[in-house]
Structure 1
């Protein structure tokens, strides 16, 4: 993307050159004078917190911070005046007004702190929250003051604040106190980028939720910074009269992938290969612990789609192609939430989201939306087949208490009526209200996907009509959606929905139902009782315990497709020649949704590459590594070639789809089920030169390898293992056995796709469920 500042930067450079020349001339004309005068130091005094919560009858302490422009100690005293101003709290009744001055003494370090105390009074009446603004005015030159803080006297004495009451009673009490603006705000979710510059927007818009999209992170990207960021938004929400907390959400689809240093678990396709629901529950429990430790109580996971076409760019987000297998893996929900509703309040649990309801993995190639060949496309099927293939995992997720559901971008076109009339899932009242909330008994809330309602057809809109439109808003709310992910159009959505309610086109009952569902989850999560997150548990992020679990999951996910002559496991003192671009590339082995939405190739996250894992697990092996197999191969006992895909996500991973324009060169390569030419060349070089050859395929889906299979002695589907590449080495060298089984069919050719178990003329290279086993006791015999 071209920089919008490109030409202005050139002008600034010319201007700096001119100023430098003028200064040098002046210095030469005025000997003895300083050629350059240092900029005078400026001191900026700001509040440590924009909103400061306090209890009635206590003293509120406001902290001020003095920072210098040069980072040096203060060159002179810095004084400013403060006073309490008019807010919603009543002076003399709710608090004692204060005025005064604060001086940061000369020589104080930049970052020095001073406090102001404001006595609060107890009036012993039940009240909503009230505010006391504090104004700051510089009294000395060279001092600037930021916006003053606002003290918030917490709401008190109201029934919905009483944790002894049932959730149902608390919701009912709160709901009847809420205005229409309050309710619509609860139904609205904005992206952090839309409110970061002014967190007060959370209060002004009465937002119910904020999210981080893929790659939307604080600076620095540390667990502590995440907690502070979430708390900043939460403090803004708590400045409103009813103090309804936000619920912050992230896509932690294979670990807390947005956070640098988090444990990155195998993508779901690999977890499906483990055939181990208990392990999946543990993996998602560890994920929940890391997510909640960063102040985030909501995860947009797990994906319980049934993937039926490997050309789909989200194939790796699925546990497999068989609804029975995917249903078994809904233990991911209990891993995130716990097995009882009361566990949602635990510090290592989060609200789960089963997605994408329903049929997103069953769309037909060529029907895609947003420029994608298959992603966001149309599921063309009979009602019976749709119910048999795509709904069972949702029924299972609901049975174990999934708290939220996210509809798919895709559409459903039932063939029973013989008419081509696809309906977007975000507008599908029959499936959202009739089936999901009715027949399946879902009592949580439905959250749209990113700008999901913007794709609902609106015959009155043109290409230039701002989205969402009134028709899109009205259609989606009436279809049964409860919360709306409107990353950058939250205020527009709220205004439209208010107009629709006022006009009677959306009923108050529908609004109350949606808000009740959202509030119920917030109470269950304990957000009303403990809204501000702590940094006490940030050490669990990327902990050794979780990395050990991830390594176990990696080992169990490896599928041994071929093992001629029982080549695997390898001897731990073998001479091993390692090649292939995915052998030492942790970004490639992690895949999409890692630090960025699309992921990144290269040395991106802490962890162990497959090459590093080989050296770690077999320290006595003589290992030679050459990514392109250009180094001499002659004395190797065995070659290990690690090939496969580079990171992608969603439609940018569709076979034949568009390239992600901001990715690395490798990420821009055309997406295909065929190996890239460099991968094929590495296999040929190594397998032709070494007596025994192992090929590992690191990818989010099967790759066509039929033409080279004859020269490969052992073939392994490694999927996208994540941060712990040593788990791959564990099975290669027999520390653990190969036990994984294919969660999807491995086609013999691209022409066979889509191919799934149960198809007529089912002749794949390797069938669904295939997977050879090894005995670790045999390692070292060859």
Structure 2
């Protein structure tokens, strides 16, 4: 048995820390003073979040002023609600003009200013890849595609731009980012994650939070974030949304908690709770996760909010509560601070009764409300009398669009390029076909303009689909055979006839838009009609460029083996069509890397950081494309991997360097991935784990030496006693084709 080294955080006292403590004490005093003046009804109201439809006129989507003032007064003056979410008229919610948003939220602020204690409502919205519910907002690649950039600076900038456009819309609070880890490719919310790797999810997610909130979340151009969905939601056993996960304590701590801990450290003040269950305990009833771990271990100080109707579902669906009243008690006592009820006032009424009868102690109410009030104070909502930002200069700016274009370019993964068929000649004659070739929706996915993202008619007409971008890019003949909707039947005979008359075929396949349970599928296989089209095209022998869009790695093995090139688009956002065309014709050199393992077969789901037994004897790790895979139009070489010390003591960090050279003929961007393996340990360790990465741009022939630091935390794992430890022994570092070893000594 090896000696163990326990990792404890070091408390560093500095002047800045003291100042922060003093500021926190001022906020705490303000909150406690306010809390002491509140009635029970006002407190319970703060814990209640309602959908906008409860204060909307009928058909509120279609009127300039959708607020029913009598309903709003009832919500705020009689029920004292602390939060409102969503767009008018659920479930047909859709993006609103920015002026309408500003008028709606201003009416809410004006009314709260007339209340006894003037406590502001915090308005929440799902702005998961930009201000998705504000018309003409800058909509970025979805998280799975942002992860493919391996560019934390872009994630930071996305956070900045999203916060600015949310605040310009008059809104306060963003239900983003998803900090779940995406290791179940069937799951219909995979694309909302930053991929399968712990370090990548933590790095990209925390960068987004820092950009969105800045050093002062109360600043006019910053807004509060909400991490979701804590915890284990993303790993359903059967792949279906809102279904059970089986996650042991060690796996929970090794894979699923670290990204949320990173988000806590980045300063996210709110957490949305897992809508499903882990090991038989629904997320909204899990005291161990919500209180003992989230607060006791991770140090979270903000407030938790339920997901849609999930408290009442403890009774109606999960059957762990005998009545709606019991469901409210279970959830609140487990650690739920705010209930997304959201379509009635049942939570308010039931919780009020529970407190009056002594079934829920006033101390728990005060605890929850103080957390909510603290976030509202920190976010500057008490001082906010009108929308924080003017629209001019803060919404859909040229700079924001340019950043979005760069993100889309860096998100696209060139997976195959046989005989350097790409880039294409701008004089080539091209047949474009397939269901995803002429739609904006398939490049954006769910939570885009509408909940499911499928209302193509609402997408901005000035943005280009892949087809239109190709048509603008080339002087060669471009012919399109396809439909106007994803489900439209494509005339295969016509497509084949046209293919014979063109130099090359761009075959655009993939998925229609979806999110949540609507996106549940039984297999990762492509739709049979897409396979039928593809097989007919391949049969004539013309060169085929396979392009895919969608939120999951649908199985394309048969097609990828026949295609001359494969380009994986996933969900590159509103600039995805232009970015893809720029890559196909060589105006942009691709640099995306896969943030997930792309499976070869629908049931061959093995992540890159698998255990040794998963690639032992007859078992194989043989994906179609591995995590981190991504080609370029140039070539890169890593060399001279050096470790500063090959022997260190427990608790010490290690410095390493590696040279990277562009050995090709054009400039390009390369992501250098640093993996680590603990060669022998008391708990089986993955064959490798990503611990650091850097993205650089090099000119032809240019070489750069990169420096990395691996800390004791990077060398640690969850030991036999469920505590994070480092054990002495041999470690292997892997960068490109280079490897190096070092030893951690006993103290």
Q: TM-score range by the shorter chain?
A: 0.7 to 0.9
* Deviation (angstroms), 1:709: 2.5
Matches within 5 A, 1:186-585: 186-196=46-56, 197=68, 198-201=71-74, 202-212=76-86, 216=90, 221-340=96-215, 343-365=216-238, 374-413=240-279, 422-457=280-315, 469-489=324-344, 491-533=345-387, 536-537=390-391, 540-585=394-439
1:746 aligns with 2:601: no
Paired residue total: 580
C-alpha distance after superposition, 1:433-482 (max 9, x if no partner): 1110111100111011011112225899799x9x7x11111111111111
* Rounded Cα–Cα distance in structure 2 between residues aligned with 1:214 and 1:311: 31
After alignment, is 627-636 or 562-571 more displaced?
A: 627-636
Deviation at 1:255, TM superposition (A): 1.4
CA contact (8 A) 2:178 2:205 kept: no
Partner of 1:679: 530
Q: CA deviation at 1:688?
A: 3.7
1:711 equivalenced with 2:565 (yes/no): no
SS at match of 1:716: strand
Q: For residues 513 and 336 of structure 1, what CA distance do their matches in structure 2 show?
A: 29
Q: CA deviation at 1:553?
A: 1.0
Deviation string, structure 1 residues 323-363 (Cα, Å, up to 9, x no partner) = 121111123443453342xx212222111011100011122
List gaps (5 residues or longer) in structure 2.
1-22, 57-67, 483-489, 615-619, 635-663, 668-747
- Equivalent residue runs for 1:9-88 within 5 Å: none
TM-score (norm 2): 0.74
For 1:109-152, what per-residue CA distance to the aligned partner results, in whole angstroms no more than 9, with x for missing partners? xxxxxxxxxxxxxxxxxxxxxxxxxxxxxxxxxxxxxxxxxxxx
Q: Distance in 1 between matches of 2:111 and 2:480?
A: 53
1-side partners of 2:564 and 2:317: how far apart?
Answer: 59
Partner of 1:697: 548
Give 1:213 deviation, angstroms: 5.8
CA deviation string 1:385-433 (max 9, x = no partner)? 11101000000000010110011012121xxxxxxxx111111111111
CA contact (8 A) 1:409 1:425 kept: yes
The equivalent of 1:626 in structure 2 is 481
Q: Distance in 1 between matches of 2:520 and 2:319?
A: 29
Matched, 1:726 2:726: no
Question: Of 618, 631, 636, which aligns to 1:772?
Answer: 631
Q: How far, CA to CA, are the matches of 1:713 and 1:457 in structure 2?
A: 54
Structure 1: distance between partners of 2:45 and 2:134: 28
Q: TM-score, normalization: structure 1? A: 0.71
Structure ID, larger Rg: 1
Deviation by residue 1:716-749 (Cα, 9 ceiling, x = unmatched):
1100122112111122122221111111111111
Could you tell me how far apart the structure 1 residues matched to 2:456 and 2:316 are? 43
Distance 1:261 1:184, change over 3 A: same
Secondary structure of the corresponding residue to residue 570 of structure 2: coil
Report if the CA contact (8 A) 2:165-2:395 is conserved: yes
> Quick check: 1:447–1:484 contact (8 Å CA) kept in 2?
yes
Displacement after TM superposition at 1:219 (Å): 9.2
Residue aligning to 2:466 = 610
The residue number in structure 1 matching 2:518 is: 652
Per-residue deviation, residues 153-174 of structure 1 (Å, max 9, x unmatched): xxxxxxxxxx999322211211
Change (3 A) 1:619 1:562: closer
Measured against aligned partners, the alpha-carbon deviations of 1:504-556 in whole angstroms (never above 9, x if no partner) come to 22122211111111111111111111232267226643333222222111111
Shift of 1:282: 0.8
RMSD: 2.5
* Equivalent residues of 1:313, 1:654 under 8 A apart: yes
The separation in 1 between residues aligned to 2:263 and 2:172, in whole angstroms, is: 18
CA displacement at 1:265 relative to structure 2: 1.2
Cα distance in 1 for residues equivalent to 2:320 and 2:197 = 41
Q: Structure 1 residue 382: deviation in Å?
A: 1.8
